[in-house]
A and B are shown apart, each in its own frame.
Chain A
Amino acid sequence: MTATTFPSSVFPTAHVFQQWQDAVQKAFAMPKVMEAVQRVRVGVTPSRAVYHEDNVRLMQYEASLEKRYKTPLLVVFALVNRPYILDLRAGKSVVSHFVNRGFDVYNLDWGVPTPGDRHLAIRDYVLGYLNNAVEHICKRTGSESVNILGYCMGGSLSAMYAALRPKRVKNFISLAAPYDWSSRDSLLCLWTDEKYFNVDRMIEVHGNAPPIWLQTSFLLLKPVQNLMEKYINFYENMEDEKFLDDFFAMETWLNDNIPVAGETFREFVKYCFQQNLLMQGKLELGGERVNLKNLTAPLLNLVAQHDHLVPPSQSTPLNDAVGSSDRKTIHFPAGHIGMAVGGKAHRDLWPAACAWLEERSEVIKS
């Protein structure tokens, strides 16, 4: 029988003393942490609301540069969180990449659904709010179409819109968005299986999908990382001001969950997660069938290789489902949120995405 031996350096007395010293230093860093909490600011690019409808606001980002491209860009985020993740902090803002290249950028803020919004269905978001926002942008800019950047569930909703109103979409960028739920490899697909999850009953009782319930589900997807490693990492880096600023900005967003309108949540779980109707071309919104083959705009599909929320198997099938002849996929080594805020993504991915859009955009003639 062989005994496992550990190097004596693993548990030396000096090491324990060092740990104690570190702990004292961390305690002295607490005021710095409190300061970081107080100065946390999210959403760095100046913006103003240019259109309101119920709780929905259409934000236009202000640019110091003159606009260079004719077709505006509309950013469409998911319904489960706030959209400022795409403009979180200086140096970590997807929006600023496009604004600084001369695009006229808009962001659709879905707002926070109230209990009275429980009857809002997917068609209300896609053919109502999203459609009206696009129409408003076209009217105010004189453009006949818009470029769309859809993130996560916002990508799915935007693809539905682009398939129903193809003339209004000039270029389509999908960012870590799910379209095909046939594979059951993701935990969310497993948890929402009708064998284990009665979405009708949940919405009947709660009205809207409660934010605390959504947040807990997301946390549980990676419990070790979200509940243990994150805080150990925080403890080890609590003297680093830049780390603290990033950490609290991220925490602000992560804890800023909002409810999802009950009927929309029910439809999304039933028609997408459980029945996979979008990919089969069987989804109907307001009496119109959503056929992804009608999405003929040039497509850039940004797929997160390490995405635990929307695995690549849910995103990549979009390229074969659409009718676009100009299609490109970028598989990027990042997670779901890393695609929006990761340093590597801002260094390599977003300049490439901007260049892709520039190649397909008409320059305003002076």
Chain B
Amino acid sequence: MSGEKPQNAFPGLDPFMQMWNDFAGRMSAVGMTPPQAGSDAAQQMRRAFFDSLTQYFDQYMRSDAFLNAMRQSMESGLAMQNMINQQLQKGLNAMQMPSRMDTDHVAMLVRGVEDRLLDRIDELHKRIDRLENSPGATANGQSGKRTKA
């Protein structure tokens, strides 16, 4: 007989069994406490159950099994949504109507124009500041500060 631990046929059940054992242990502890009102014992049992369940869920949601399942379901969901988007776009284009892709494109163009304009305004501000602060500007009797027209 080898010293290796036997392989579990259902490794996915391990966290659940751990949670159940933990819960059973806590429940026994509640049963063994000195006699008390029924509702109090029930409250303690419930608390123990929820604590164990919380712990179990937390462990499960950190497991590779959950994370991979999450990734796969998200990829499938996104692929499905993408397919719907494309079909809608085709349908709308066929009807000569703008789709979300078209409005996105327009938004991108406007944003590009805005960025270029802001960059240009920044450059102009810097140039004006340089001109106002240059020795020539003050020598000509200018204050160096912009005033309202």
Expressed in whole angstroms, the Cα–Cα distance for A228 and B46 within the complex equals 11
Q: State whether B57 touches A224 (Cβ < 8 A).
A: yes
Does A12 lie at the interface of the complex (its beta carbon under 8 Å from any beta carbon of B)? yes
Query: Are A6 and B67 within 8 A (Cβ)?
Result: no
Q: Name the residue on B nearest A8 (C-beta).
A: B38
Cβ of A325 within 8 Å of any chain B Cβ, yes or no, is no
Convert B26-40 into 0s and 1s, putting 1 for each residue whose CB lies closer than 8 angstroms to a CB of A: 011001000111110
CB pair A116 B67 closer than 8 Å: no
Decide: B57 and A5 in contact? CB cutoff 8 A: no
Question: Which residues on B sit within 8 Å (CB–CB) of A119?
Answer: 107-108, 111
Known: A187-B61, A205-B81, A224-B57. A7 touches B38 (CB 8 A): yes
Assess whether B31 is in contact with A5, with CB atoms less than 8 Å apart: yes
Residues of B within 8 A of A191 (CB): 67, 70
> When the two chains form their complex, are residues B100 and A7 in contact, meaning their CB atoms are under 8 A apart?
no
Inter-chain contact A7/B107, CB cutoff 8 Å: no
Quick one: which of B34-78 are within 8 Å of A by CB?
A: 35-39, 41-42, 45-46, 50, 53-54, 57-58, 61-62, 67-68, 70-71, 74-75, 78
Which A186-239 residues have a C-beta within 8 angstroms of B?
Answer: 187, 190-191, 193, 195-198, 201-202, 205-207, 220, 222-225, 228-229, 232
A220/B61 contact (C-beta < 8 A), A7-B38, A10-B41, A202-B74 known? yes
> What is the chain B residue whose CB lies nearest that of A190?
B62
User: Chain B residues with Cβ under 8 A from A224's Cβ?
Assistant: 50, 53-54, 57
Q: Are A15's CB and B71's CB within 8 A?
A: no
Contact between chains at B31 and A196 (CB < 8 Å) = no
B31–A6 contact, CB under 8 A?
yes
B103 is an interface residue with CB less than 8 A from chain A? yes
Q: Assess the A9–B41 pair: CB atoms within 8 A.
A: yes
Which residues of B are found within 8 Å of A228, using beta-carbon distances?
50, 53
Q: When A4-B28, A223-B57, A224-B50 are in contact, do A205 and B78 touch as well, CB less than 8 Å?
A: yes
Taking the nearest CB of chain B, how far is it from the CB of A205, in angstroms? 5
Bin the interface of chain B by size: 35 or more
Tell yes or no: B104 within 8 A of A by CB: yes
Beta-carbon contacts of B106-135 to A below 8 Å, as 1s and 0s? Answer: 011001000000000000000000000000
Residue in A closest to B41 when the chains form the complex, CB atoms: A10
Does B54 contact A115, Cβ atoms closer than 8 Å?
Answer: no
Q: Looking at the complex, which one of B27, B57, B104 makes contact with A118 (CB distance below 8 Å)?
A: B104
Residues in A with CB closer than 8 Å to B93 are: none
* A7 contacts across to B, CB distance below 8 A: 31, 35-36, 38, 41
Known: A196-B67, A196-B71, A224-B57. A115 touches B78 (CB 8 A): no
Whose C-beta in chain A lies nearest to the C-beta of B27?
A4
B87 on the A face (CB < 8 A): no
- Contacts of B81-98 to chain A: CB distance below 8 A: 81-82, 85
Give per-residue flags for A108-140: 1 if the beta carbon is below 8 A from chain B beta carbons, else 0: 000000011011000000000000000000000
Given contacts A119-B107, A187-B61, A202-B78, contact A9 B100 (CB under 8 A): no
Are the C-beta atoms of B68 and A196 separated by less than 8 Å? yes
Contacts of A6 in B (CB 8 A): 31, 41
Asked, given contacts A116-B107, A119-B111, whether A15 binds B38 with beta carbons under 8 Å apart, the answer is yes
> Can you name the residue of chain A whose Cβ is closest to the Cβ of B51?
A224
Chain A positions within 8 Å of B42 at CB level: 10
B101 to chain A, nearest CB (A): 10
Chain B residues with Cβ under 8 A from A195's Cβ? Answer: 67, 71
Q: B8 to nearest A CB, angstroms?
A: 24
**What residues on B are CB-neighbors of A118 within 8 Å?**
104, 107
A207 smallest CB distance to B (angstroms): 7
* Smallest Cβ-Cβ distance to A193: which chain B residue: B67
Which residue from A198, A207, A220, A229 sits with its C-beta under 8 Å from B100?
Answer: A207
Extra contacts, 11 of them, besides A9-B37, A9-B38, A205-B82 (Cβ < 8 A), are A6-B31, A7-B31, A7-B35, A9-B35, A116-B104, A187-B58, A190-B67, A197-B71, A198-B75, A205-B81, A206-B81
Cβ contacts A to B, 7 pairs, < 8 Å: A4-B24, A10-B41, A116-B107, A119-B111, A187-B61, A205-B81, A228-B53
